Structure 1
């Protein structure tokens, strides 16, 4: 599959920024540190085109913002853009990306005991909505 990747460098950056940004948003919302580590591992464990893009070593992940709101203004639209981009260029990979990000969000949200905090659960819903938009 890696021989047939024709995404531009900008497209790859959008995918990585969106996916790793989702985990960063979970951390900013209060997800436990161990959970966010598991979320990042979930991203690098992806398969298919998405897996190739997310596991590549790069310095093009751009997460900006001094507050959760500023970070969300950048990441949430990137998630939507990534799904649309993959849906147009690589049908099926949009679902792969969505599923991969949702697994990462679920991994990041796992508390030590009980349910995720309300803030973490709310951020997970916002990320899901951005992926579905």
Structure 2
């Protein structure tokens, strides 16, 4: 059984929802239609460029269903999902944890910088994403 096969469908969806939620959190920090389009492409490129289990989880299957709320509502959904994703990987695929963290942070950074650079609300969202992933960098 491969590491990917050892994850349940729910665990795979948690990893995916958490990653997409992190991007959505950063994107919703500074809303705008044109910005959102640029940001979604930036995040997609980061996910597509990932490797191993992370790539298999983030680039296949159904898209996660994310809440369509205020930035605060998005935060209340995304940050616990990120913490849960870290727990899942620590337990079932510890060798993929840094890969997952790096991919999510890269996607969030690219999202923040995709439209006119990183502003204060996006920087604050990035900080929260890093913290939820257990990364202070």
Q: One fold, TM greater than 0.5?
A: yes
Contact 1:2–1:49 at 8 Å: present in 2 too? no
SS of residue paired to 1:132: coil
Give the Å deviation of 1:87.
1.1
> Displacement, 1:5?
2.2
Partner of residue 29, structure 1: 29
1:26 is displaced (CA, Å) by 1.2
Structure 2 length as normaliser, TM-score? 0.86
Match of 2:58 in 1: 54
Cα RMSD (Å) of the superposition? 2.1
CA distance 1:36–1:4, change in 2 (3 Å): closer
Aligned length: 131
Tell me the residue number matched to 2:5: 5
Give the distance between the partners of 1:3 and 1:131, measured in 2 at CA.
20
**TM-superposed deviation, 1:44:** 2.5
| Equivalent position to 1:39, from 43, 51, 55 | 43
Deviation at 1:65, TM superposition (A): 4.3
Change (3 A) 1:125 1:3: closer
Question: Structure 1 pair 95/126, CA: closer, same or farther in 2 (3 Å)?
Answer: same
Aligned to 1:20: 20
CA pair 4-12 structure 1, distance change in 2 beyond 3 A: closer
Partner secondary structure for residue 116 of structure 1:
coil
Q: Using the alignment, how far apart are the partners of 2:2 and 2:92 within structure 1?
A: 15
SS of 1:5's equivalent? helix
* Runs of 4+ more than 2 Å apart: 1-5
TM-score w.r.t. structure 1 length?
A: 0.88
Q: Is the aligned partner of 1:68 residue 2:71?
A: yes
Judge which range, 120-129 or 65-74, deviates more.
65-74
Following TM superposition, by how much is the alpha carbon of 1:83 offset from its aligned partner in structure 2, in angstroms?
1.1
